[in-house]
Each structure stands twice: as structure tokens, then as C-alpha cells.
């Protein structure tokens, strides 16, 4: 006689707890806790990083991310509109851009912009501009697809109502469709912002000065002068100061979005 379904489910649940317990015990026994503590939790080194880890590195990470996000959002909107354009070449250009910058590692793009732009255009951008172009250029490729999906998710009736009131196509787009599209895509857009925050670590390739260091570069720089991995831990925790609230914000917006739109007419 086979086990009843309910009994089986119960045993499987026990097995899952069992596996978890075994893994935890193994890690606890095998790891050298003394070493881990010395490697990651050196209080003196941690103390030596303050306050500049906050006043310089965290601040710069936020500035770089904000610049990249702002530029990426604007460029992403343009690309999204190009993708929806009735002019075929616009659609092609947007598609090529999005596919290229989504498909190529951000690090390569940064190198290309840092070394390539001065050669190609015989001009040297200030560092912040380069950061903005590099981070935003990559972010735009991702955001364009999100924004396009948001625009297409706005019910057709909204445009028809706007047009029936005498709004032109572009007026309806600006006044009615885009504001609604951004409400719809706010949660995924917040996720893009989290990804961009982490991508900002790649701009170490741009060869920054000490006061321009962002968190990862700052952590690695401290690491090179100290016998402990503590700087990496501190830098990581600083990222969480940015990303955890954003993740919470994203989930909050998602909840609010679904409950707010439930009753809205199609």
C-alpha cells in the first residue's frame, strides 16, 4: 500500500528541514571562525575607513548612479518612443542600440567610451560626464524596453479619450500615456536603479582620483593597504544602505500599484 499524499508531503517537508540542518552544521564545523573574524571583522580597519567611506565613497556612488539613471531614463524614453515610431529607420536604430548595449558587458562599454570617445571626437569630457554617458548609456538600453512595455500597457481607450477631446497624438502621449506608463513601470524601474547602483562599481576603469572614488574602488584601495578583507565587507554594507530601501520601495510600489489599478476601467 502506497503512502497517502498527505503523509508523503509531510515526509518531504521533514526531509527539507533535515537537509537545511545538515548544511548549517557542516558549515559551522568546517569553517575556521577565528580566521573569518580576523579576515572580515577587523574593528580598527573598519574604524579607519570612517568617515570617508560615507562622505566620499558612498556619496560618489550615489552621485554617479543618480547621474547615470537620470541620463539613462531620458535616453531610454527616447529609445522607447523610437521603437514605437511609425518611421522604420527609427525603430531599427533603437533596436540596434538596445540589443548592442544589453548584449555587451558594461565594462567593455565603459572602456569604449572612456578611450574611444576622445579619439573619435577629438574631445575629452570631464569625468562626471563620462560617468553619466557610460552608466546612462548602458542603463538606457534596459530602461528603453521597460518603458516601451509600460507605454504599450496603457489601455488604448486612454488615447482614444484624449484624441476625442482634441489632443494631438504627441499631446496625448505626453499628457496621458507617459505619466500612466511610468506609474505602471515604477517597480521594474526601481530594480533598474538597483542594478545601476551596482554597475557604478565598474567605473573604476575610468581611472579616478582619490576624491572621486566610489564604494568598490574605495574598498579595494583600502584593502591594498590593510591585511584584512574588512574594507570589502564595509563597502558591501554601504551598498546595502542604498539598495535595501530601494528594494523595499519597489515592493511597496508594486503593492500599491496593483491595488490602485484594480478598479480602473479598461
Partner 1 sequence: MSDSFVEITGLKKSFGPLEVLKNIDLQVNRGDVVCIIGPSGSGKSTLLRCVNLLEEPNDGKIVVNDVELTHPDVDIDTARTKIGMVFQSFNLFSHLNVLANLTVAQRKVLKRSEEESRRIALHNLDRVGLSDKVHSMPAQLSGGQQQRVAIARALSMDPEVMLFDEPTSALDPELVGDVLGVMRQLADEGMTMLVVTHEMQFAREVADKVIFMDGGYIVEEGPAADVIGNPQEERTQSFLARVLDPTHHGPKDPE
Please give the residue ranges that form the binding site for partner 1 (CB under 8 A).
155, 157-158, 160-168, 171, 175-176, 179-180, 183, 260-266
Q: Are 189 and 249 in contact (CB under 8 A)?
A: no
User: CB of residue 171 vs partner 1: minimum separation in angstroms?
Assistant: 6
Q: Which three cell numbers stand for residue 207?
A: 581611472
Query: In the complex with partner 1, which residue's Cβ is closer, 37 or 164?
Result: 164
Query: In the complex with partner 1, which residue's Cβ is closer, 124 or 169?
Result: 169
User: CB of residue 191 vs partner 1: minimum separation in angstroms?
Assistant: 21
**Exposure string for 45-61, b = 16+ CB within 10 A, e = fewer:** bbeebeebbeebbbebb
Residues 90 and 147: their CA atoms lie apart, in Å, by 16
Coil, helix or strand for 211?
helix
User: CB of residue 188 vs partner 1: minimum separation in angstroms?
Assistant: 18
Query: In the complex with partner 1, which residue's Cβ is closer, 98 or 147?
Result: 147
Query: In the complex with partner 1, which residue's Cβ is closer, 179 or 227?
Result: 179
CA distances from 112 to 34, 47, 60, 105, 206 (A): 44, 37, 22, 11, 10
Residues 131 and 135: their CA atoms lie apart, in Å, by 6
Query: In the complex with partner 1, which residue's Cβ is closer, 2 or 266?
Result: 266
The angle formed by the CA atoms of residues 211, 212 and 213, to the nearest 5 degrees, is 95
User: CB of residue 151 vs partner 1: minimum separation in angstroms?
Assistant: 14
User: CB of residue 89 vs partner 1: minimum separation in angstroms?
Assistant: 24
Burial classification of residue 103, based on how many CB atoms lie within 10 Å of its CB (0-12 exposed, 13-18 middle, 19 or more buried): exposed
Query: In the complex with partner 1, which residue's Cβ is closer, 98 or 176?
Result: 176
**Location of C-alpha cell 559551522:** 28
User: CB of residue 189 vs partner 1: minimum separation in angstroms?
Assistant: 16
- Alpha carbon 13 to chain centroid, angstroms: 36
Amino acid at each position: 500500500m502506497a503512502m497517502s499524499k498527505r503523509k508523503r508531503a509531510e515526509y518531504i517537508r521533514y526531509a527539507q528541514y533535515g537537509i537545511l540542518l545538515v548544511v548549517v552544521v557542516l558549515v559551522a564545523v568546517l569553517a575556521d571562525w577565528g580566521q573569518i573574524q580576523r579576515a572580515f571583522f577587523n574593528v580598527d580597519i573598519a574604524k579607519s575607513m570612517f568617515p570617508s567611506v560615507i562622505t566620499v565613497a558612498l556619496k560618489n556612488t550615489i552621485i554617479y548612479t543618480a547621474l547615470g539613471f537620470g541620463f539613462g531614463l531620458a535616453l531610454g524614453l527616447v529609445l522607447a518612443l523610437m521603437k514605437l515610431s511609425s518611421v522604420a529607420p527609427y525603430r531599427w536604430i533603437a533596436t540596434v542600440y538596445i540589443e548592442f548595449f544589453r548584449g555587451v558587458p558594461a565594462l567593455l562599454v565603459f572602456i569604449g567610451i572612456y578611450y574611444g570617445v576622445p579619439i573619435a571626437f577629438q574631445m575629452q569630457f570631464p569625468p562626471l560626464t563620462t560617468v553619466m554617458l557610460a552608466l546612462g548609456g548602458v542603463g538606457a538600453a534596459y530602461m528603453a524596453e521597460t518603458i516601451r512595455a509600460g507605454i504599450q500597457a496603457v489601455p488604448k481607450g486612454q488615447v482614444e479619450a484624449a484624441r476625442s477631446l482634441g489632443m494631438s497624438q504627441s499631446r496625448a502621449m505626453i499628457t496621458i500615456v507617459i505619466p500612466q506608463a511610468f506609474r505602471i513601470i515604477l517597480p521594474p524601474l526601481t530594480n533598474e536603479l538597483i542594478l545601476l547602483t551596482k554597475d557604478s562599481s565598474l567605473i573604476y576603469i575610468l581611472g579616478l582620483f582619490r576624491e572621486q572614488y566610489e564604494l568598490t574602488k574605495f574598498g579595494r584601495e583600502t584593502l591594498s593597504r590593510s591585511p584584512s578583507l574588512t574594507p570589502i565587507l564595509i563597502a558591501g554594507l554601504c551598498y546595502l544602505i542604498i539598495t535595501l530601501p530601494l528594494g523595499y520601495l519597489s515592493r511597496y510600489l508594486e503593492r500599491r500599484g496593483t491595488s490602485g489599478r484594480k478598479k480602473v476601467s479598461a
